[in-house]
Amino acid sequence: MPDTKATTRTDASAGAEKPWAVRGAGLLLALAVAAAYANSLGTPFVFDDGLSIADNPTIRHLGRIGTVLSPPRAGSVCARPVINLSLALNYAISGLNPWSYHALNLLIHAAAALLLFGLVRRTLAGRWGTLAAWATALLWALHPLQTESVTFVIQRTESLMGLFYLLTLYAFVRSVQEASRAWAFGCVLACFAGMATKEVMVSAPLLVLLCDRTFLAGSFRAAWARRRPLYLWLAATWGLLAYCLISSGGDRAGAAGFGVGVSWHAYLLTQCEAIVHYLRLAFWPHPLVVDYGERLAGGWGEAALPALLLVLLAGGTAAALRFRPAWGFWGLWFFAILAPSSSVVPLPTQTVAEHRMYLPLAAIVVGIVCLLRRARGRAGLIAAVGLAAVGGALTVARNHDYRTEVALWTDTVARVPANPRAHYNLGVALDQAGQAPEAIGQYRDAIRLKPTYVEAHNNLGNVLQRNGRLPEAVAEIGEAVRLEPANPRALYNLGNARFALGQGAAAIEAFRGALALRPDYAEAHCNLGVALVALGRTGEALAEYQAAVAADPNYPVAQFDWGNALAQTGRIPEAIPHYEATLRLDPRQPGAEANLGNALFAVGQVPAAIGHYRAALALQPGNARVHYNLGNALLQTGRNAEAADQYAAALRIQPQFPEARAHLTALTGAPAP
């Protein structure tokens, strides 16, 4: 276990505060965070949340810990098993209902704020006092720049990493001040957890050493001599980070690294502009943007002034490390935590992201509070609390932008109109909201800005198909396939569009192309079966339905279509189990109820058929054919009056129904109305 031998520079004043005052300040801080983020609990999943939560099968069973700790290689949880574990916990609580995910995000942020309060109090309390530490944590926690890390569910990658980062430092300080092995163990454990949460944690062991030198031991030599075992344990956490990165392929599924199509120097220039932008937002947090797109800096001329400013800040930090260690600590805090995502390692899908300022913002806030305290004393601290209150109000307002996906992406398009991905995501949101014409317009804007945007072509084609514009749909999805021939989703959608246009053979070709790329594609197997049935190739279709169910046993559509194909070929007894399976998977399926009724009627199980016809009508009262079939079943059991009522109901829905009219006339002895 790491050595926790007491240091000669413990901060006695940190322990001199009355416990009730410190606890009360912590409670007020937590309540303030809860008030600022209360209106975020009902916001929907947005952006990468779908890929990391709804489309992530590894979070579905919390008890399968091996699967949970092996996140998919694509998406925001790639190489981040602790994040995946937290999502699995939420899924166990509320499934795909977002409330528990937001509640946990809020708790993480509140805990991080409390740790920052404790860390500042224990390192600077002798110079500042508890009120200054509390004002610092409050201003940091309520700053609207933090909303992306708290309200956007999957950006808990940043806030949870921040929690472990702060816990590592806080536990270290307490382990030294209290000579506690338990706190030393907590420090190492938190660092391990952080390394499995997000790569930005990489600098934590170095910041612990700098914290020791600055606030506790007085020099690097003394820090190393007194706590060498602890630093070796902290260094060992880098091994876990390396393992997580290697196990995911090292490039986060193509989302980061030097071989992802963006040069390191182009990315560095972009980050010079980005970091200066973050600094501006720290002082004037408007406008806030959830997605800045993939923009890169235009060259050295464009990035010269931001680069010069950062060089001056970095130089000032280096000087402060020598002459004003406390200032130097917070300056290095800012640069070291930003470095993994905002330096030379390209992250081309998001070159600018506000959530990266989650922890670095603390350094700026410390500086602001320090300057206010020096300038105005206690009044300056009260002013800092006032700024925090303004920040809280702005946070509430920013959370309101997340109320629906349409609202969020409408705001983003207004802020960054040249971002094709913002237009695309607004198109997706509008389509899901039933606003097809507006969605089509947004997809076309995305394609105008980025003609090679495969997903935009694909989704535009889907919307056009659903609105009956089939030739245009085939053209758009065909363009997506031309741009990315190895895209199984685009090939699948092309098959659907071609089938709807009556191009059965071409549809089959597209479905087979999708299956060649993804053999376990249940939907493609199923729709290939439908196309084969339409061409009279039912035997081949049955094999496809079987493959669809093998790929996804919980896919009700495949069971239903399989039953229909068997019934069409006269194998009605074999169709019955498939209709029953459909209803087990999807009890509110009127077509399955009606077809099961037909199958049962055909094999002589008339009373059972009547029950399923009634169930079908309860789900879909306006189906004339089911009323007619129910009438036939009732007539078969001698319930003539009830049968007549069903024939009459069928005629009210569909007056031109000769069979129903004939049966009703035969039963009543008078012409049907």
373, 400, 427 — which closes off a domain? 400
Domain boundary residue among 400, 427, 457?
A: 400
**In terms of residue numbers, what domain contains 346?**
12-400
Are the beta carbons of 44 and 63 closer than 8 angstroms?
no
Measured CA to CA in angstroms, residue 543 lies from 182, 475, 530 at distances of 62, 30, 11
* Model pLDDT, residue 670: 61
The answer to whether 612 and 585 are in contact (CB under 8 A) is no
Residues 6+ apart with CB under 8 A from 449: 418, 419, 420, 423
Give residue 7's pLDDT: 40
Q: Which residue has the tokens 């192309």?
A: 513
CATH of the domain at 640: 1.25.40.10
The domain total for the chain is: 2
d(CA 399, CA 497): 39
pLDDT at 21: 84
Per-residue HEC secondary structure of 23-72 comes to: HHHHHHHHHHHHHHHHHHCCCCCCCCHHHHHHCCHHHCCCCCHHHHCCCC
Residue 410 covered by a domain: no
Do the Cβ atoms of 41 and 266 come closer than 8 Å?
Answer: no
Does residue 76 belong to any structural domain of this protein? yes
Decide if 562 is inside a domain.
no
User: Is residue 563 in a domain?
Assistant: no
pLDDT average per 10 residues of sequence, the chain (673 residues): 39 59 94 98 91 90 92 77 96 96 98 97 76 96 98 96 98 96 98 97 98 96 97 98 85 65 90 97 97 90 93 97 95 97 91 97 96 92 96 98 96 97 98 97 98 97 96 97 97 97 96 97 97 95 96 94 95 96 95 96 96 96 95 94 93 93 85 59
Could you tell me if residue 420 is inside a domain? no
Q: Looking at the domain assignment, is residue 611 inside a domain?
A: yes
pLDDT at 77: 76
* Helical ranges in 537-589 per DSSP H: 538-551, 556-568, 572-585
Last residue of a domain, one of 335, 369, 400: 400
DSSP tag of 213 = I
Say if 6 falls within a structural domain. no
Are 125 and 215 contacting, i.e. CB atoms less than 8 angstroms apart? no
Q: Is residue 128 part of a domain?
A: yes
CA distance 457 to 588: 33
pLDDT at 671: 60
